[in-house]
Amino acid sequence: MALVSQGTFLPIKNVSQCLEAAHLDFKRVAKAVRGIALTSMFINHSNDVQKFAQQASQMTSSALLSVLESVRHQYYLAADEVADQAFTIHLLKSAISIHELMKSIKKGAYQGVNHD
């Protein structure tokens, strides 16, 4: 399935997978951080991202870009709060991957057949 918006075909499967991975990462961050406020914040991020993953096929490309930008920012916040260096690196790499996905969407690199 693909999302058609302004002549650009977006593979929703890739975007949805990216958002599902973020959902799981933020759940893991919620377990790793200290303090009720941070734990709650990342649980909320995780739940929000899961909802976005489920709604990705109905979003316009501009809405997806907005969601991806928010998730990318949340990854950077999470990387600042996690003590595990390997997990921090994973979070930063995920933020970079989201940035690359956003660049591809903006450039219209995702072109293909709409399989609605």
68 domain-assigned: yes
What pTM does this model have?
0.80
Task: Give the pLDDT of residue 11.
Answer: 55
Task: Give the pLDDT of residue 12.
Answer: 57
Please count the structural domains in the chain: 1
Closest CA to 21 of 103, 113, 93: 93
pLDDT at 4 over 60: no
Alpha carbons 1 and 24: distance in angstroms, whole number: 23
The pair of structure tokens assigned to 67 is 């969601």
19 domain-assigned: yes
Give the residue numbers spanning the domain of 22: 2-107
39 domain-assigned: yes
116 domain-assigned: no
pLDDT at 7 over 70: no
- pLDDT averaged over every residue in the chain: 84
112 domain-assigned: no
115 domain-assigned: no
28 domain-assigned: yes
Reduced to 3 states (helix: H, G, I; strand: E, B; else coil), residue 3 is: strand
113 domain-assigned: no
CATH of the domain at 17: 1.20.1260
Task: Give the pLDDT of residue 38.
Answer: 95
